[in-house]
Amino acid sequence: MNPISTPLVYTANGPKSAPTILFLHGLGVSSWMWQDQIQALSDEYHCLAVDLPGNGESYQVEWRSLADTAVRLATLIRQQSGDRKAHVVGLSLGGYVALALLADHPQVVETVMVSGVTTQPFPRQWLFRPLVALMSRAYRWNVSIKLMTRMMQLPDEVVPLYQRDSKRISISMFRRVYGELFDYSLPPQLGRLPHRVLAVAGDHEAGLIRNSLGDFPALIPNAMAALVPDAHHGWN
């Protein structure tokens, strides 16, 4: 694959000589969603928080696929991590990206923690596909943004950041992401890797996500799965 010419926007906090944690955000937000975790961990860890293609300050970088994004992140880890490896944490879209990174570039991954991901193709796609087509347009409407901030229980201080990021999401990017996730299943090569993987979901998550947890230890030798009590999709 050709080298990545357009770099992703990211922040780095903590000593570069310390173990690296790479934080990957969900669709329609950006690296600000990890600010509390980074503040708590950056004394002892080198924390990288990336704006994924088409999101946040990387909104002008084209989203192509999970695999393409994984290439970009593997390059970033090699450049920014002292030992050229990272512990990878991903929520929602970031979780899918984390698993693609592990499957395609296991040499740059130390451990993985994911939350809010599915492991099998979506059922009833005849219903979900038209719904996503509508959501791709409504996502940037002010009334939708206001509703989502309430649903995700966002603190007041980050609401302007969420509003900004929502307005930047393109219709094509939104549909391309979901087009890939509709048919997503866990990459089979994960079953041959020794890496420790923790998969979690809030106990108020969608049933499709909660029911996916058992697939992780069933496929991945060193995987564990758990529910987070009294938590929704954006529980972090």
What pLDDT, in 10s, does the model give residues 1-34?
Answer: 344 567 999 999 999 999 999 999 999 999 999 9
**For each successive 10 residues of the chain (236 residues), what is the average pLDDT?**
70 96 96 97 98 96 97 97 97 98 98 97 88 89 90 88 94 94 96 98 94 97 96 88
Amino acid of residue 8: L
Cβ pair 196, 225 in contact under 8 A: no
Give residue 1's pLDDT. Answer: 39
Residue 68 in 3-state DSSP?
Answer: helix
For residue 52, the Cα-to-chain-centroid distance in whole angstroms is 8
DSSP 216-230: HHHHSTTEEEEEETT
- Cα gap 147→154, rounded to integer Å: 11
In order of 46, 56, 103, 195, 220, the CA distances from 190 in angstroms are 26, 29, 6, 9, 6
The DSSP output letter for 120 is S
Q: In sequence order, what are the residues at sequence separation of 6 or more whose Cβ sits closer than 8 angstroms to the Cβ of residue 197?
A: 102, 111, 112, 113, 114, 190, 216, 220, 222, 223, 224
Cβ pair 71, 47 in contact under 8 A: no
Residue 112 in 3-state DSSP?
Answer: strand
| Neighbour tally for 96: CB within 10 Å | 24
Cβ pair 195, 113 in contact under 8 A: no
* E strands, 109-195, in order: 109-115
Give residue 154's pLDDT. Answer: 87
Give residue 2's pLDDT. Answer: 45
Give residue 30's pLDDT. Answer: 97
Cβ pair 117, 92 in contact under 8 A: yes
- SS (HEC) of 26-54: CCCCCHHHHHHHHHHHCCCCEEEEECCCC
Residue 21 in 3-state DSSP?
Answer: strand
> Tokens 């890797």 — which residue?
193
Give residue 234's pLDDT. Answer: 86
